[in-house]
Amino acid sequence: KNQVEQSPQSLIILEGKNCTLQCNYTVSPFSNLRWYKQDTGRGPVSLTIMTFSENTKSNGRYTATLDADTKQSSLHITASQLSDSASYICVVLGESNDYKLSFGAGTTVTVRA
């Protein structure tokens, strides 16, 4: 069973609307949690990195939240744009010296005009 689960698998929203993506993880002990954006045919690009002591972090219209007690994170996209259409991947790094990232399967977001 994968240690990082994301929901929904995909969603479609209208341009200008908001949406929230969910991530649950079981990686323990925990170091940090990242959200990546992956455009079709491209590699993932980092949006945010949060440690266990951080509850929220923003990057423009993207806001990530983290509850380390319940091992849940969310990514909120505000006022969506067509360019937000992509896969959003939740990634967790456990506490170790080998930088092994655990990836979720991603949520595919489609923004329609």
- The minimum distance between CB 58 and another protein, in angstroms, equals 17
- The minimum distance between CB 109 and another protein, in angstroms, equals 13
For residue 44, whether the previous peptide bond is cis, meaning omega lies within 30 degrees of 0, is: no
The Cα 60–Cα 74 span in angstroms is 15
The Cα 58–Cα 16 span in angstroms is 18
- Which residues lie near another protein (CB under 8 A)? 2, 31-32, 41-46, 49, 51, 87, 89, 93, 95, 97-101, 103-106
- The minimum distance between CB 97 and another protein, in angstroms, equals 7
